[in-house]
Structure 1
């Protein structure tokens, strides 16, 4: 398994020799072509069409919420609670929303994703606040969580989220350049048991 933080909420995951991108955005043009692309929603900073074009090949499968649309050859659409198997990987759709912010309401039915090869479970939270559905997340090995406090959790809320579902490892994203060492300190103060891994963009 290899994981690279590209920018904002965009990651490249290589799992079982398959190349998977989460929330494509500003991907370098010489990047590996994608087998699977997962978009949490269709805002430009999570579904950058130029970035998608640079990594797409004829067989690339695009996974989207059912409420989103895109002109793309191979599309799979999911709703919260659904799971599909692609390239021997299980992809589960989970809730992602802001309870009290108008830009990411629950009614949009946008998504986070869990990708699993039955040995490791990787959770990309999408744009979300701390929501009740997080208590149902189990056995997460790596959680990619937003912490920037702009239509997502801030540092304190993200730490509370980690205490809700206790992933083994957590990587903050969607942070808008904020000091992630401060986030790590807040996690320590709140007794977060997860290993907090801070990646720079491009790592």
Structure 2
């Protein structure tokens, strides 16, 4: 399944399965047609109307928090943490995503990460979050996409704790290399999980 996950940098992934799913499109170089766009929150590097438009087809569905709604002409499904929906046959759960020791992503904003099922595999994308207690409740995750860069999100060290709580079959680090963080953060994350959880560091697709 990992070969179906393309990392386009930052928190942008293209996931190819029953449908074409993109997460938080940012700095999109090649126009494409997405079936589903998963938006975690309204910051410019996660909710970028300019980049979203490069991926829109008439049938594309945007799944997004309320404060992102109505800014792009497209089909929308508004979510908050705890919502479970099915879009285009894909099961999607919106889960909490927030900071605990900094103020960039307050819990009261109702911003989200997502757990969604593709080709029978449950994928979790964390969004911009710290290591939060809710992670202990995320069950049967096959692939976890976790931020590791610190500053606005978890550090590599905190992401290790998150991964151990979530216990995915595979963890993929993200949120480094464009605005904050570097591949060193990803490598540190992988090193500390060696022998515990398989970590795959993806190279950004051109």
Fold-level match, TM-score > 0.5? yes
Q: In 2, Cα distance between the equivalents of 1:109 and 1:77?
A: 11
C-alpha distance in 1 between matches for 2:74 and 2:120 = 30
2:149–2:156 contact (8 Å) kept in structure 1: yes
Structure 2 partner of 1:8: 10
How many residue pairs align between the two structures? 198
CA distance in 2, matches of 1:79, 1:166: 24
Partners of 1:117 and 1:54 in 2: how far apart? 23
Contact 1:62–1:72 (Cα < 8 Å) also in 2: no
Query: Counterparts of 1:139-154 in structure 2 under 5 Å?
Result: 139-154=140-155
Q: Distance in 1 between matches of 2:67 and 2:29?
A: 28
Does the aligned pair in 1 maintain the 2:49–2:72 contact within 8 Å? no
Aligned positions of 1:167-186 closer than 5 A: 167-175=168-176, 176-179=181-184, 180-186=186-192
Which 4+ runs in 1 deviate beyond 4 A? none
Unmatched segments (≥5 aa) in structure 2: none
Unaligned 5+ runs, structure 1:
none
Q: Contact 2:47–2:68 at 8 Å: present in 1 too?
A: no
Give the SS at the match of 1:114: strand
How large is the RMSD of aligned CA atoms in angstroms? 1.5
Matched, 1:195 2:201: no
